[in-house]
Amino acid sequence: MIRAHALTKRFPDKDGDRVAVDGIDFVVEPGRVTGFLGPNGAGKSTTMRMILGLDAPTSGTVSVNGHRYAAARAPLREIGALLDAHAIHPGRSARDHLRWMAASNGIPTTRVGEVLELVGLESVAGQRAGKFSLGMGQRLGIAAAMLGDPPVVVLDEPVNGLDPEGIRWVRTFARQLADEGRTVFISSHLMSEMSLMADHLVVIGRGRILADCSMAEFMSDHAASYVRVKAPALTEVGRLLQARDAEVEMVASGTGRGSELRVTGLDAPAIGEAVAAQGLVLHELTLVRSSLEDAFMALTADSVEFHASTAALEGAGR
Ligand SMILES: Nc1ncnc2c1ncn2[C@@H]1O[C@H](COP(=O)(O)OP(=O)(O)O)[C@@H](O)[C@H]1O
Ligand SMILES: [Mg+2]
């Protein structure tokens, strides 16, 4: 379990201090995959570095299985981490890289073969890591994280730049670790990835927690939905539904032909029955759900450091 309390990190800045992590509280429970989601610059990596004792909090605390990680005697047995997959000596083979790491933590060398097999790198274990593709480097980083068979695993943007095969592999692997009862904490700036991988979400923006809930809860709270209604007598249908306390908005149809109603507060079956009871005709009755990506964008819209549309302008002004 990972537990953060009032965790804060400030970096000195030319005009005072920049708050990267702003007094956050969260708990990462074992036995499930917790997604740490937020736009670039939200504070995910800084939080992860504090969990691992690589950055000292300005204030607040974070503990791994009840104690500060930096105090651990054999850190790789407590927590496995992938923070920067490129932090590997390019001239060293995958096997030698893992041997060196194992030795530094008093882990028997037999474990090296096991983790190479675990991530599917046995056949290239003798090759220089510098020649590895991004996906192979990522697997090697995960192999290193698993050397000490740790109960807690922290992966920072593990699928960044991976091909679909690699993404699927990371997803399956994370699921397996959680099913084994481990604590799994994985960051990403992409909702689409997280929606397939995480059971629980901690969403962060500008160093603050924006949501801490199950994936299912996030969906029902943030992914808006409405029922699209098309009918020849649209105005009449709209009035009828309003009389049943539905919220009705008439908009130009997406197909460019005519208009449609967007109805909330009344589900599709109820709409169909109400309309039929008046002897009116429907041409379409569809439940439309906004995607999780949309929900995430809406939630973090105010917390993105530079929006795509303005970033270029700000860059030009400097
Ligand atoms: N070593 C550092 N010195 C100064 N500012 C930093 C440093 N590391 C991160 N930051 C700033 O802290 C904020 C959070 O960064 P980071 O934790 O890397 O975000 P994320 O991983 O969510 O993209 C950003 O504004 C970033 O510029
Ligand atoms: Mg990061």
Give 178-218 pLDDT, tens digit per residue: 999 999 999 999 888 888 899 999 999 999 999 999 988 88
> What per-residue confidence (pLDDT) applies to 161?
75
- Burial call 21-41: b when 16+ CB within 10 Å, e when fewer: bbbbebebebebbbbbbbbeb
Confidence band of 45 (pLDDT split at 50, 70, 90): very high
Contact 4, 36 (CB under 8 A): no
* CA 202 to centroid of chain Cα atoms: 8
Candidate from 8, 11, 24, 206 with most ligand 1 atoms within 8 A of CB, to mutate: 11
Atom 10 of ligand 1 has which residue's CA nearest to it?
20
Supply the pLDDT for residue 27: 98
Taking alpha carbons only, the member of 110, 108, 137, 111 closest to residue 124 is 137
Surrounding residues of ion ligand 2, Cβ less than 5 A: 44-45
User: Which residue, by CA, sits nearest to atom 14 of ligand 1?
Assistant: 43
Mean pLDDT value across residues 296-303:
79
- What's the gap in Å between 4 CA and the centre of ligand 1? 18
Sheet holding 32-37, edge to edge: 79-82, 152-156, 183-188, 32-37, 200-205, 208-214
- Quote the pLDDT of residue 195: 87
More confident residue, 107 or 69: 107
Quick check: helix, strand or coil at residue 291? Answer: coil
5 membership: H or E segment, kind and range:
strand 2-13
Task: Give percent of the chain with pLDDT exceeding 70.
Answer: 91
- Cα-to-centroid distance, 252 and ligand 2 (Å): 41
Q: Of the candidates 50, 68, 1, which has an alpha carbon nearest to the alpha carbon of residue 29?
A: 1
For residues 142 and 173, the answer to whether their CB atoms sit within 8 Å is yes
Lowest average pLDDT, out of 92-96, 147-151, 268-272, 289-293, goes to 289-293
pLDDT of residue 233: 94
| Cβ < 6 A, ligand 1 pocket | 11, 18, 20, 38, 40-46
2-221 falls under which CATH superfamily?
P-loop containing nucleotide triphosphate hydrolases (3.40.50.300)
The pLDDT, as a whole number, for residue 1 is 94
pLDDT at residue 86 tops 80: no
225-289 is classed CATH 2.30.29: no
Measured CA to CA, the distance from residue 51 to residue 306 in angstroms comes to 27
- CB burial readout 200-220, b (16+ within 10 A) else e: bbbbbbbbbbbbbeebeebbe
Domain boundaries, the chain: 2-221, 225-289
Mean pLDDT for the stretch of residues 67-89: 76
Amino acid at 160: N
pLDDT tens digit string along 134-156?
888 888 999 999 999 999 999 99
The rounded percent of the chain whose pLDDT value lies above 90 is: 63
Whole-number Å distance, alpha carbon 8 to ligand 1 midpoint, is 12
Amino acid at 55: D
Query: Residue 20 Cα, ligand 1 centroid: separation in angstroms?
Result: 6
Split at pLDDT 50, 70, 90, the class of 281 is very high
Task: Identify the three-state secondary structure at position 79.
Answer: strand
Specify the pairing of strand 59-64 against strand 32-37.
unpaired
Q: Given this model, what pLDDT does residue 289 score? A: 80
Pairing of strands 152-156, 183-188: parallel
